[in-house]
């Protein structure tokens, strides 16, 4: 068996308690940026390439569970245990711009692609949409969620919301992929009607959900060990440029890299001294970051990516089946759209299979 590749990371210190969420901005004229959420109540902004500390957003009084940057990396949002989003920040100055009060712990937040809307969710089981152009206006509340909201994201040019809950009861299976990595809808909400339009069941609550840059894939982890994974996985992230690999982190304190097409482990990176709570690829796929119970962020280099790296041709039927399954999910995501009257529809497409 070939020896697994080992990478030496950039180690980013600064947090005094576990790092529980990471978010990369898209590439901007000033580069790209990495924001981190931690139980120490002090989210931090860093240079996404070097990991150099830029600043700390000060003002929370409880653990910060989620963080995000808008498309232009000009504003940051954080979700906290002090019953607030709680805050929207100026990412250039670190100043607090807005504070949106909630009645319970907020676990997730996400800016819309056009940066005009902010989505939040948490223990209240309510999804709220804030208009950043009218921050003083009451938020729009989407139908009560079936459980405490754990993750949120936007899809389909901000027409659709993706959310996952700590209580997944009554959700239907659509597709189940290999290795604890699932490409799925979870719960999809029509933003216009505020209703659930599609759901998918998982064995346990989802702890990580990520939408690919091209919108074709949703990558999630639910902690299940029913597949051949080395540990209970808490977070996964798909390489954004070619989609040829994904990283996973969990309770064994290591960061694992897997081939997307075969599911084989191609690298195992050691260095954290506690469970890995979050992993995220940088927007260009040249590196990925991991956050851990040990309070550190580690940035691992993948090296330059080439088109050849993304062309993993299968040598047997089993790999072909995995690729077909992923393609089928991709078609379902691309085929789903919101009709003009606000009702959900799915395009009927013929699937050609080459012999």
pLDDT at residue 255 is higher than 90: yes
Of the candidates 253, 218, 252, 214, the one whose C-alpha atom is nearest the C-alpha of residue 236 is 218
Band of pLDDT at residue 156, cut at 50, 70 and 90: confident
Match 């799915």 to its residue by tokens: 346
Query: What's the rounded mean pLDDT across residues 60-76?
Result: 95
Task: Tokens for 156, please give them.
Answer: 């389909």
Band of pLDDT at residue 247, cut at 50, 70 and 90: very high
Between residues 21 and 193, which one has the greater pLDDT? Answer: 21
Phi then psi dihedrals of residue 98, to 5 deg: -145, 155
- Minimum mean pLDDT among 28-32, 46-50, 203-207: which range? 203-207
Q: What size, in residues, is the chain?
A: 355
pTM: 0.78
Task: Tokens for 84, please give them.
Answer: 């607030």
Taking only the tens place, the pLDDT of each residue in 72-91 is 999 999 999 986 557 999 99
- Minimum mean pLDDT among 177-181, 227-231, 264-268: which range? 177-181
Between residues 239 and 345, which one has the greater pLDDT? Answer: 239
CA distance 346 to 355: 27
Taking only the tens place, the pLDDT of each residue in 105-142 is 999 999 999 999 999 988 888 889 999 999 999 998 87
């Amino acid at each position: 068996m070939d020896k697994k590749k080992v990478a030496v990371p950039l180690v980013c210190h600064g947090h005094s308690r576990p790092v529980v969420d990471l978010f990369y901005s898209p590439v901007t004229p000033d580069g790209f940026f990495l924001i981190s959420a931690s139980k120490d109540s002090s989210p931090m902004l860093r240079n996404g390439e070097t990991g150099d500390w830029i600043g700390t957003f000060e003002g929370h009084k409880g653990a910060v569970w989620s963080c995000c940057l808008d498309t232009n990396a000009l504003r940051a949002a954080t979700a906290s245990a002090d019953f607030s989003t709680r805050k929207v920040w100026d990412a250039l100055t670190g100043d607090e711009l807005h504070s949106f009060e909630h009645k319970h712990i907020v676990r997730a937040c996400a800016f819309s692609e056009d940066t005009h809307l902010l989505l939040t969710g948490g223990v209240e089981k309510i999804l709220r949409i804030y208009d950043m152009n009218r921050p003083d206006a009451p938020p729009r509340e989407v139908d009560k969620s079936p459980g405490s909201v754990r993750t949120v994201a936007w899809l389909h040019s901000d027409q659709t919301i993706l959310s996952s809950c700590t209580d997944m009861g009554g959700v239907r299976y659509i597709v189940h992929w290999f290795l604890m990595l699932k490409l799925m809808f979870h719960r999809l909400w029509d933003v216009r009607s505020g209703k659930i339009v599609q759901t998918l069941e998982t064995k346990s609550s989802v702890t990580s959900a990520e939408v690919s840059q091209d919108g074709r894939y949703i990558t999630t982890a639910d902690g299940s060990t029913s597949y051949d994974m080395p540990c209970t996985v808490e977070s996964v992230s798909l390489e954004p440029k070619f989609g040829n690999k994904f990283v996973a982190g969990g309770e064994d304190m290591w960061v694992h890299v897997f081939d997307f097409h075969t599911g084989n482990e191609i690298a195992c990176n050691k260095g954290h001294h506690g469970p890995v709570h979050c992993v995220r690829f940088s927007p260009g796929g040249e590196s990925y970051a991991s956050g851990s119970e040990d309070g550190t962020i580690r940035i691992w280099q993948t090296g330059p990516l080439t088109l050849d790296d993304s062309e993993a041709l299968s040598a047997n039927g089993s790999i072909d089946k995995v690729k077909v399954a992923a393609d089928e999910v991709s078609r379902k995501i691309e085929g789903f759209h919101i009709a003009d009257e606000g009702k959900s529809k799915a395009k009927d497409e013929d699937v050609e299979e080459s012999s």
